[in-house]
């Protein structure tokens, strides 16, 4: 069985490095995008098994990108974890409305994120 693919759309290099390092000892394959537009393009081209979507992104916001992905046939049912900047400001509800399968507030614990990923897409 092929390795599961995860797409992480996030503009901050350090945040991407955390996830990159976190997945180092797992079998998941990581794709990275730094803005919403690129994120949508890669998601539709590569059809990843899971998408991690930051909400605050340059060009196209994470919420908008999720709406687009939900409309596209290739990614309509792909699990998406939205990473909100502040769980208490209503972002979680907005993320759900835009089509997120789950959400995590920043700053998140890598341990929690990995648990969430494993629950949605078990390692191959």
Asked whether 102 and 115 are in contact (CB, 8 A), the reply is no
Q: Return the number of the residue (17 or 76) whose C-beta is nearest another protein.
A: 17
CB of 75 to another protein, least distance (A): 26
| 25 contributes a contact to another protein by CB under 8 A | yes
* Secondary-structure breakdown of the chain: helix, strand, coil percentages, each rounded to the nearest 5: 45, 20, 35
Instruction: Tell me the per-residue interface mask from 61 to 100 with another protein, x by CB under 8 A, - otherwise.
Output: ------------------------xxxxxx-xx-------
| 102 contributes a contact to another protein by CB under 8 A | no
| 18 contributes a contact to another protein by CB under 8 A | yes
| 58 contributes a contact to another protein by CB under 8 A | no
| 31 contributes a contact to another protein by CB under 8 A | no
Single residue of 1, 73, 77, 111 touching another protein by CB under 8 A: 111
| 35 contributes a contact to another protein by CB under 8 A | no
- CB contact set of 110 (below 8 Å; sequence gap of 6+): 18, 19, 22
Three-state DSSP at 18 gives helix
Q: Return the number of the residue (31 or 114) whose C-beta is nearest another protein.
A: 114
Report how far residue 81's alpha carbon sits from residue 53's, in angstroms, rounded to the nearest whole number. Answer: 6
Which of 103, 104, 8, 97 minimizes the C-alpha distance to 49?
A: 8
């Amino acid at each position: 069985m092929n390795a599961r693919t995860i797409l992480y759309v996030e503009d901050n290099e350090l945040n991407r490095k955390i996830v990159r390092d976190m997945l180092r000892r797992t079998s998941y394959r990581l794709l990275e995008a730094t803005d919403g537009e690129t994120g949508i393009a890669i998601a539709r081209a590569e059809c990843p098994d899971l998408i991690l979507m930051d909400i605050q992104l340059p060009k196209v916001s994470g919420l908008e990108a999720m709406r687009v992905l939900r409309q596209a046939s290739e990614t309509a049912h792909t699990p998406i974890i939205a990473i909100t900047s502040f769980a208490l400001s209503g972002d979680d509800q907005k993320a759900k409305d835009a089509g997120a399968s789950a959400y995590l507030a920043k700053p998140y614990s890598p341990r929690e994120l990995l648990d969430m990923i494993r629950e949605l897409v078990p390692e191959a």
